[in-house]
Structures are given as C-alpha cells and as structure tokens.
Structure 1
Amino acid sequence: MLLIFAGFASVFCGVKDISAHDVSSILLMQKVSDPLVESIVQKRIIRTFFAILCGAALGISGALMQGVTRNPLADPSILGINTGASFFVVCGLAFFKISSAWQYIGLAFIGALAAVTIVFGIVFLERKVDPLTLILSGTAVSIMFSSLVTTVILVKQDSLDQFRFWQVGSLGSATSQGTMIFVPIFIAGFILAMCCAPGLNALMLGDELARNLGVNAVLINVCACIAGIILCATATALAGPIAFIGLLSTHMTKLIVGSDLRKVIPLSSLTGALFLTIADVIGRLVSDSNEISVGIITALVGAPLLVYLARRMKVQAQ
C-alpha cells in the first residue's frame, strides 16, 4: 500500500506544477489541452516504474550480499560491483562514446563480473569462502577500480560532465526502452535469488552444518553473487551507482519478518522500491527550480544509518 501511494506521489508531484485534474485525465487516457503537460506526465510514469525496478533490484542485491558475506553491513558495493561497473561504463563513455541502454548494461555487467571474479579469485587462493576475506578483498578491489575511474577521467576530460551526471545516481534519464529492457533482467535475477535463498539460510547456520545438510557452499555463493550482479549492474548501468538502498531496505525488512531469506528477498524488493521512489519524490520537491539527484538523497539518509548500525553492532559485541 505504501509503495502504491509513493508511486502515485511520484506521478503527481514534480518540479513543474501540474494540476491533479490534468494528471488524473492523462492516467485515465483522456486528452489534455497542453501537449507539454501530457509529455511531462508520461515521463513521470516511466520514471516511476523505472524507480520501482531499480529500488527492487538493489534491495534484492543487498539481501543477497548480506547472505553471502554474513555481514549485516554489506550491500552491493561490498564486492566492488558498483565500482567495477562504474569503471567499465566510464571507459565506454570516454573511449567508445556509448549511448544505448544495451551498451551501458553490457559494459556495467562485464565490469561488475570482473570485480567479483577478482574478489573470488583472491578468496579461492585461501581455499575457502570466508566472509571476512570476502569483505576485505571486496574493499580492496573497490578502491582499485575507484582509482582507475579517476585516472580515466583525468586523461579524458571531455567525458567528465557526462560521467559526473551518471556517477551521482539519477532517475532523470529513465526511458521506456531502458525500462522494458530491465523487466526481463529483473525477473531472471529475482528467480535465481529465490532459488539461492534456502541454501543461504543453511549457510547462515555455519559451513559445516550446511555441508551436512547437503548444501554446496561454493555453488550457492557463486549463484547468489551472479544474481546480485545481474540486478545491481543493470540498475547501476541505467541509473548510476545509487548507494545504501540495499542496506536500508534489507535492515528494514529484517525488522519486520526476521532473517529468513525466503521472506527477506521478496520483501526487500518492495522496501527497496519504496525507499528509492520516496527519495526520488523528495529530490524533486525540495527545490523550486531544479531537482536533487536521488543518489544524493539516499546518501544523506543512508550514511547516518550506516554509522548507527556500526555503533550498535560494536555495543552488542561488547
């Protein structure tokens, strides 16, 4: 119900004031006198669906990363997914002048996959999938790709403005083509995530007990990471690296239904979609003339939450 309400708020509210009557007429397939108003509302509808898809994808990806690493502070960036995707996209912008949604998605997926491959390569050198090693390796790889992104931008100054807009994280570039491409990718990622949920539940009990239950830890972790990569890389490619949605939605979901990933994954998709849609609406309403990118809003909310959760975990450990 909250998500439906947020979706209508996203359609009715924006930087440009449009009467509720005109918006309702367009939603009811009725013509309005001003073609510009009609195009703005149609753009808002596409943007709303796009926000729901991105938020849902990031919410599921966050739940998967927390399940794989068994770290409640994990989100898609923990394995370098965002920075790996960012590096390949900025290379595409700087050297190949990419423009289509498929080009963004393809490069982002390759970059995210490259980052995770490096991380798991480091982990497999230790001959076990250890959560602490995953976190440390992911942090190191993320820093490496961030440095490479900075290097490319310094070398190719002409691509700075285009990349800067994408890097902040925004839903303003949502298109019907990108949204339609996202739908089947989201469905595939969601199905794979749900298939991994029982195995991840078993792994939360410990590797030895999970092995006794017949769970292949390596297979489950790899499949869960692939699902997370598919979802996060697509959202990152089309909207930019939006932070903290995975962290925020997963923690809110666990407060409601507990830690069973068979429930957490589908509900995290709803809470992620809700939070991102609300953040987008806030970004459009706080300024009279220009909107604030949704990536800035989520960072302003998510950063204090991360500090609070870290302090809470420290207190519990003591």
Structure 2
Amino acid sequence: MLNKELIKVLSKIYRYENSKYDPEKKIDVYRHTDQLAPQQQEHLEASNFEPNRITKYEHNEVVNELKNIIENHNLEYMVSNLFIKAVGAGFNRGIQPIFSYYFAKNMPLHDFKPCSANVLEQNNVCRVCGIQDTVWSNDSKNLYDLYIGYCRFGGYSEILLDLKEILTFEGVIATDDEKNTFLEVLDIIEKAPRDETPSGLLKRLSKERCLPKSNNISRTWIVKCMAELGILRNSYDNDYSIMNAFVPYEQKLEWELNIHKSSLPRADVEFPISSWQGELGINRALANKIIDNASK
C-alpha cells in the first residue's frame, strides 16, 4: 500500500528549513531538488509523487464529495481493518481513516454556516463541521503527515484527501495476530489507575512496549483517535463517539474552552482526549464494533 522508501525520501523534503511560506494561499511549499541524493531524486521521480500539489478546497464541495464517498459500502470495512493494523502492527497510515469515515458519514449534508462571533472570531469556519469556507492546502505535505501518523481530527479538508487515497489501497485485511494485539492494548488501557491522565497513559503505553513499531507521534495520535471513537470515555458525554451522533463544531469548541478554564495555564487542551481520566475506563462495545466491522 505504501512505499517505505518513498516515505524516507519525503522525510528529507518536508523539513522547516526547506519550506517557504506562500502568504497569498497561506501554505508552505517545499524545495526538494537540492536536498536529495541522485538515487533519492530518481526514486521520487519514479514514484510520480508530486512534492507540492497545491489544491483549493471549498466547504460546500468538500461536504458534497464526502457524502458521495461514504456511499462506498466497502469503506467501513477498510477503515476498521486499517485502524486495527495501526494499533496491532504499527501501520501509521491506518490511524486517520476511521475518524474521517465516521465524520463524513454522520455529518449532516449542509451549506456553509459561519461560526457565531461570540464563539470564534474567524468567520471562515463552519459552525456545523469546522471546515473552512475556502482554504488552500499542500496535499503532498498533508499526505506525508498521514503516512507518519500525524492526523487531523476535526473539520479539515484533509479528511477528503485521506478517504480518496485509501480507496486506492488493496488487500487491507488485519490479521488475527493484529486483532489480538489490538485487544491486548485495550486490556492494558483498562488497567489504568483512577487518576491517570492522558499523558500518564502515553507514558505507560511506551513503557509497556505494547504498540508495535510505535513512536511518540503514533502513540499520541492512536490515543487521541481512541478518544474520538469513544473507546476512551470522556467526562462531558459518556456516550460520545464519532461513530455515533454527529457533534457540531461549536459544541465541541465550547467543551474544549470549558476544559481549558480548569486546566493549567500552559496545558495543551483538546476535546475529547483532555477530558479522559483513568477512572472513566473504556467502552468495550465500541471496540468490539470495530473488530466486527473488520470481519464482515
């Protein structure tokens, strides 16, 4: 599905020192011809991967495309297997798609509606889904982020980019060993001390070495994804899950702001992961649903 050598080449390109900011489109573009050895340059050219594929996204078009994509009846099966492989085998590209799928599936079909001025000063963000009215993106850099496990949970045009690419994947099937590892990780999380915080959980998962081929980036985003899926419960809505009813962007933002008020000044606050604590435990039913969906 993914060319590991290509990802190594891309890691040489997508560095801060190679970037140049485009103030008109508000994106970074990357130099690459001087950063690569001849063999790496040849590999890049052979892959047909364009290092700076710049795309303009408009809210209403993105929403309509997402609603069309989820008509693919095989997609839920694919994203479930991909997420199990992310947890059970360290396949970082498998973290994002399960969020993207359920976001697209449960999001209502709607036109752009700006956020209320008292909620968010920016008037180019939709209060329903959080997707911007118009935005330019470097699709190439965004795909690289997904390859290494850096995700976009929320209203982002990258959700469309993500789902379009995984539809090109073939043979996405989690093995029994990967499913068992997935369940073993849940067992470990379930043993959390009552006062364990998300950062404490990440340290414990690292110490346990239970997530194959993981690093700080992938472990962080796997845990955040489990919170979005509702496998990790949160203190605001015990039944919250991106797999269930859609929660509007403004509601999630309000919860996030409330969490921020009770957090340390420099705390990195994100809903729903920031409102998890060990005593809340996990939702086994949702985890089992993913296993079931991966087996159909």
User: What interval of TM-score do these two structures reach, taking the shorter chain for normalisation?
Assistant: under 0.3
**TM-score, length of structure 2 as denominator length:** 0.27
Greater share of helix:
1
Greater share of strand:
2
**TM-score, length of structure 1 as denominator length:** 0.26
